[in-house]
């Protein structure tokens, strides 16, 4: 009597029949009456997610978008200031109190948030602080008095500065040394793009729906970003979509699978010469940022005769130059490294070229009598200022467990210098002219470069994690 054939697997198991017969899939066994033991395919299928080529550039695009939202939310009040004053009837002096509330909390929290970033990590930090500044922006909808606006701005200033230490830290986690200048430049370019977009975006929303809804919509964009960030960001060793090839590139010079490095104590951070190089650079160059951002429209109006319509038409041009400068400050060194230059030679050369161009451009600004020439010189000066890339330094010369703290410290002290110099600029412009202001700004970058060179000597070819901290 012929032996009975084994039972055919159920219909829902047929897709695995070939694999079962070939032995590629081994599952738990089952028996049928009068038949030999056969194998059953597994109940679930586990397939690893597909890899994304160049994933690190998608990560930096998310960081740049966070910077855009940061400045879009920050500039919304500036765009709507006159409209709100006319409707609610508060004075210019009261408006200055509102802006001062933002600067006060922003400067203090730049230092605090940097430390929190090193403690929480870049993923949690972004989720918490972007949510925080989005809530603070939306709360402007309910403001009815100068005190209400000051409270909203204080909360906004307390949550926004974490964007920068967290962004620089994320770049250090996702990029090898030779690409960090470019990545930080792309991340920081988002600030200029956000500032440039603020006027058209906010004004269109305000004219269509009312000024209060401008705060709701711009703030609401932050919640969408947080959702994407939560699902998209992981550290490179943990990211399921990162290819082995790109992981090897990112971890160049670092031990893959190494345990997290504990956060450095302040006592060690303050003894590192690299810390003071970052602080010195920000204290000298951040006031130039505030000069260009806060005083360029006023210079164009008072000195070059621009009216409000001209400002609306052309004020975006310097901000585009600022964004391009941020990108160029990283892209040019990256290309030079690919041609065989060392990281130190490439970065220092770009910083030196930008530093030498600033005196020429600032002198030209003070002598320009044609508005188009003045606008061109200011745009080129903002390009060179951004190409100097002061925010990139922490990712290049510091160990990863100190980047957030030092970026926060440098940003806070740079903010203090900004507050002091804003007062000095106001007095000088009112009593003298813009000429002394641009004359001082002309040499800030060169002085900062000399200080950085004296403090650190050179930017190492290897990631800072591989080096022992250098004490002052």
pTM value surpassing 0.85: no
* pLDDT tops 60 at residue 28: no
Q: Is the pLDDT of residue 250 over 90?
A: no
Q: Where is pLDDT greater, at 395 or 105?
A: 105
Domain ranges in the chain?
Answer: 57-237, 264-472
* Per-residue confidence band for 61, with pLDDT thresholds at 50, 70 and 90: very high
Per the CB < 8 A criterion, the answer to whether 186 and 327 are in contact is yes
The rounded distance, in Å, linking the Cα atoms of 26 and 199 is 63
Q: Which tokens hold the place of 396?
A: 């290049």
Tens of pLDDT, residue by residue over 298-337, are: 788 778 887 756 766 787 788 889 889 988 988 899 889 8
Burial of 21 per CB tally in 10 Å (0-12, 13-18, 19+): exposed
Backbone angles phi, psi at 304, to 5 degrees: -100, -5
pLDDT of residue 45: 44
- Given a contact cutoff of 8 angstroms between Cβ atoms, the answer to whether 78 and 198 are in contact is yes
Rounded to whole angstroms, how far apart are CA atoms 395 and 392?
6
For residues 126 and 455, give the distance between their C-alpha atoms in angstroms, rounded to a whole number: 31
pLDDT-derived band of residue 23, with 50, 70 and 90 as boundaries? Answer: very low
For residue 262 the two structure tokens come to 């504990």
Higher-scoring residue by pLDDT: 125, 78: 125
Dump pLDDT digits (tens) for 174-189: 998 778 878 888 888 8
Say if 57-237 and 264-472 have the same CATH topology: yes
The alpha carbon torsion through 287, 400, 49, 44 (nearest 10 deg) reads: -130
Residue 30, strand partner residues: 38
Question: Tell me, what's the pLDDT at 444?
Answer: 96
- The encoded tokens of residue 132 equal 């925080």
pLDDT given for residue 462 in this prediction:
58
Joined together, the tokens standing for residue 166 give 């967290």
Domain 57-237 = CATH 3.10.620.30: no
Pick the CATH number of 264-472 from 1.10.4190.10, 1.20.1250.20, 3.90.1010.10, 3.90.1150.10: 1.20.1250.20
Digit-coded pLDDT (tens) for 260-276? 567 788 889 899 999 99
Query: What SS3 class is residue 271?
Result: coil
pLDDT > 70: percent of the chain: 84
* Averaged pLDDT for residues 11-24: 42
The pair of structure tokens assigned to 449 is 């470069």
């Amino acid at each position: 009597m012929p032996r009975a054939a084994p039972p055919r697997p159920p219909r829902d198991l047929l897709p695995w029949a070939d694999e079962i017969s070939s032995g590629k899939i081994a599952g738990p066994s089952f028996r049928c009456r009068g038949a030999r033991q056969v194998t059953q395919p597994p109940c679930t299928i586990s397939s690893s997610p597909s890899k994304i080529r160049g994933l690190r550039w998608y990560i930096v695009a998310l960081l740049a978008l966070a910077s855009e939202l940061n400045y879009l939310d920050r500039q919304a009040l500036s765009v709507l200031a006159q409209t709100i004053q006319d409707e609610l009837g508060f004075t210019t002096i009261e408006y200055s109190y509102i802006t001062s509330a933002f600067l006060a909390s922003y400067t203090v929290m730049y230092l605090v948030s940097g430390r929190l970033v090193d403690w929480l990590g870049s993923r949690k930090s972004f989720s918490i602080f972007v949510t925080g500044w989005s809530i603070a922006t939306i709360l402007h909808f309910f403001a009815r008095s100068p005190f209400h606006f000051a409270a909203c701005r204080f909360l906004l200033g307390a949550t926004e500065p974490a964007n920068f230490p967290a962004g620089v830290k994320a770049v250090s986690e996702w990029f090898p040394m030779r690409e960090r200048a470019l990545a930080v430049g792309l991340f920081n370019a988002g600030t200029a793009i956000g500032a440039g977009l603020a006027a058209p975006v906010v004004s269109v929303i305000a004219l269509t729906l009312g000024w209060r809804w401008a705060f709701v919509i711009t703030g609401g964009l932050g919640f969408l970003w947080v959702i994407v960030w939560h699902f998209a960001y992981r550290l490179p060793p943990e990211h399921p979509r990162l290819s082995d090839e790109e992981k090897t590139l990112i971890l160049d010079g670092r031990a893959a699978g190494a345990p997290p490095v504990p956060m450095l104590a302040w006592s060690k951070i303050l003894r590192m010469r690299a810390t003071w190089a970052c602080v010195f650079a920000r204290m000298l160059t951040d006031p130039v940022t505030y000069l260009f951002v806060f005083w360029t429209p006023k210079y164009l109006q008072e000195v070059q005769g621009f009216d409000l319509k001209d400002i609306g038409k052309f004020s975006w041009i310097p901000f585009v130059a600022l964004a391009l400068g941020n990108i160029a400050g990283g892209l040019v060194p990256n290309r030079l490294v690919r041609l065989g230059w060392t990281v130190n030679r490439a970065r220092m050369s770009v910083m030196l070229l930008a530093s030498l161009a600033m005196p020429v451009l600032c002198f030209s600004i003070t002598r320009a009598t044609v508005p188009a020439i003045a606008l061109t010189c200011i745009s080129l000066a903002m390009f060179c200022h951004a190409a100097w890339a002061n925010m990139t330094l922490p990712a290049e010369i510091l160990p990863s467990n100190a980047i957030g703290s030092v970026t926060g410290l440098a940003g806070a002290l740079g903010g203090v210098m900004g507050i002091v110099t804003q007062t000095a600029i106001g007095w000088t412009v009112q009593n003298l002219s813009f000429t002394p202001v641009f004359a001082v700004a002309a040499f800030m970058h060169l002085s900062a470069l000399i200080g950085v060179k004296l403090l650190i000597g050179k930017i190492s070819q290897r990631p800072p994690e591989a080096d022992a901290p250098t004490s002052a």
